[in-house]
Structure 1
């Protein structure tokens, strides 16, 4: 089982596109390479935007979950 203990958490609850991804960009920049960031969001567009962000910038989307309108993402920053 993968350890999903994050090194940092971004709470983007209540924010709408494009704010969650803009904040994600800043938080991932501040994270050490290989670090794990947990993102909490309520904007349904993050289901599309966050996976695309990870693919485009070569970060690993380790896991994503949805629970009653709250979207959770665990993102591992690329090593280099």
Structure 2
């Protein structure tokens, strides 16, 4: 467990590129400034894609990890 508190969850497990990032783009619109989104995914390309998404759009990738094939990301809206 990360211990990071989050406001919303995006479950993109079982989806392949580009679906997780497309869903992420829509979901972050629901966050208030400073809010944190937890993203769950199983596609290994999300490690690269979500990091690029955050960097390009100015979101903070607080933490990411992998447990038993599930990638978990914590993204904070600026």
TM-score range, shorter chain: over 0.9
Task: Could you list the structure 1 runs, at least 4 aligned residues long, displaced by more than 4 angstroms after superposition.
Answer: none
Gaps of 5+ in 1: none
Aligned to 2:50: 50
Instruction: Name the count of aligned residue pairs.
Output: 77
Gaps of 5+ in 2: none
TM-score by length of 1: 0.92
Distance 2:3 2:29 in 1: 21
**What is the RMSD of the two structures over their aligned residues, measured on CA atoms?**
1.2
Q: What is the 5 A alignment of 1:26-41? A: 26-41=26-41
Distance 1:22 1:62 in 2: 20
Quote how far apart the aligned CAs of 1:3 are: 5.3
* C-alpha distance after superposition, 1:9-60 (max 9, x if no partner): 0000100000000000001011111100000000000010000000000000
Distance 1:49 1:75 in 2: 13
